[in-house]
Amino acid sequence: MDEIRFSDFTLQRRARRLAKGGEEISLGARAFDLLDFLIAKREDVVTRDEIMATVWPDTVVGENNLNVQVGNLRRILGPHAVVTVPGRGLRFALDVEEGRPASLSLPDKPSVVVLPFSDLGTESGLDWIADGFVEDITTELSRFRDLFVVARNSALAYENVPRDLRAVSRELGVRYVVEGSVRASLDRVRVTAKLIDATNGEQVWAENFDEDLSGHFETQAKVARAIVTCLVPQIDRAEAQRERATAPEDMTAHGLARRAWAVAVGGHMAYDQEPRERGAELARQALDRDPGCSLAWRVLAWVAWGNAYHGTTDSVPRTLSEGIDAATRAIAADPADHHARRLRALLHFMNQESDAGLPELRQAHEMNPNCSSTLAWLGLYEGLHGDASRGVPLAQAAIRHSPRDPARGTHLAALGFAQFANRNYAEAADTATAARAEAAGSAVPLVLATIANVAAGRLEPATDAFRELEKIAPALVEARLSGRWLATNPEYLKRAHTFFRIAAGLEPPQSAGPLL
């Protein structure tokens, strides 16, 4: 068995640890091997020759070494722990209880541990780098309030030992495990990371990262952030798939709120109102069980944003007011929730309050620079209301840092609008095409395709995009044609509104010329 208890002590074989009353005791490697062997042979008296062959294999040492280690064990465990049987050998004399550690239940949040990475060979002086990556990844994951992240010190117990991931799941109370390897030279590093559902051993995601290692610490931090930015959306997607199979009556308030979040955002800005309605109902059920559930309030803020954007509400002002209130309640319940701050910022922008929205969106990014969604939206709104030169690079960074993000279509749309704001019309039109391929059924890329193609002089694809938008999002089309664009940049609004009306056939193409 891996864990053995005797007297007030606990011996963990795989982790090579001895503890008393929960406090770890320093024990040398030879003393540990001797203790482990004596416990394994506790039903017998073992000769000194047997001990020497097991504890000091292929090594010629004096018998005094054994006497020293026996003395160490008696000093730590008590004088009667190891008994000398005259003329025969030694015997472990304490009562032993074998068993595995008690299983820890999984928390409400998605739970993850970053296990020590394997070192596949590094040049001299870089032996620290594998541990450095693990520490940085653990720290960056901890920025995500929706995750339960096991501390680095607990993960160290699994260094340089065979791993049974199901046992890791039980012992640490986690569903997901991050494993990886590092190979480094003085000028280059290659890191492999993979995400595994430890409860069933299934691999969820894997990726390789190659970087120049000229600036060691900067590269380490950069790669760690890149891994985390890719990793978190995969956890969210795996959780959404798993939660769909759980009966609502068996879920806690937070569990209901997590399902609500997965349902509401699952379409990534789809026009269809039904997912938002289901998400809102689940969020209200969660709040019935726990009125202070921050995630449930965040869901209601997201739902309000989606309904206001798409025009699927009887009163946009009321919906925006309710959404801002819900986001504020979420932040009050959890001030470190960067998602809620991002949503409150987006709702402020829609409410014609860019002076309130941009600082809060910047704050959300500062709180968690690893969140690709926040990065993409910041790129869009810097392009519209802030530092226009930062808009496109920020949105591009969101896509580069999380290239296989389930929300890739949304991120591409944000990039396209930032390009449009900067008058990069051909690029914006091409980005709209890529966004439509990633987010079929979403109205947002169609809006972008309509105005960007008009600006790029591509009237036929602009008209096609507009007609498709009319079919799937009539309320949104009506809102935009009436001049409601939910932004305050007058120069951008003039261009977007005119180009949209040209695609609709309400203005001649020549109207675009003075605005280009």
Neighbours of 72 (CB within 10 A): 17
Question: E strands within 108-175?
Answer: 111-114, 118-122, 148-149
Pick the CATH number of 111-243 from 1.10.3720.10, 3.40.50.140, 3.30.2270.10, 3.40.50.10610: 3.40.50.10610
Whether the model pTM is above 0.85: no
pLDDT tens, per residue, the chain with 516 residues: 567 888 888 888 777 888 887 678 888 888 888 898 898 888 889 898 888 888 877 666 667 888 888 998 999 999 889 999 888 889 999 988 765 555 677 887 888 999 998 888 766 666 677 888 888 898 888 888 888 888 887 788 788 776 788 888 888 889 999 998 888 877 788 888 999 999 888 898 888 888 877 666 677 788 888 888 888 888 888 877 776 655 555 567 888 888 888 888 876 667 788 889 999 999 999 999 999 999 999 999 999 999 998 888 999 999 999 999 999 999 999 998 999 999 999 999 999 999 999 999 999 999 988 888 999 999 999 999 998 889 999 999 888 877 778 788 999 999 999 999 999 999 999 999 999 998 888 899 999 999 999 999 999 999 999 999 999 999 999 999 999 887 788 999 999 999 999 999 999 999 999 999
Structure-block tokens of residue 211: 């970087």
What is the distance between the alpha carbons of residues 142 and 281, in angstroms, rounded to a whole number? 29
Architecture of domain 249-349: Alpha Horseshoe (1.25)
What is the distance between the alpha carbons of residues 313 and 315, in angstroms, rounded to a whole number? 5
Domain pair 3-98 / 249-349, same fold: no
Pick the CATH number of 3-98 from 1.10.10.10, 3.30.930.10, 3.30.470.20, 3.40.50.300: 1.10.10.10
Instruction: Give the start-to-end residue ranges of the domains of the chain.
Output: 3-98, 111-243, 249-349
Q: What are phi and psi of 402, to 5 degrees?
A: -135, 70
Cα 34 to Cα 10, 67, 248, 396, distances in angstroms: 15, 11, 53, 58
Distance between start and end Cα atoms, the chain: 74
- What digits encode the pLDDT tens for the residues 367-404? 988 888 999 999 999 999 998 889 999 999 888 877 77
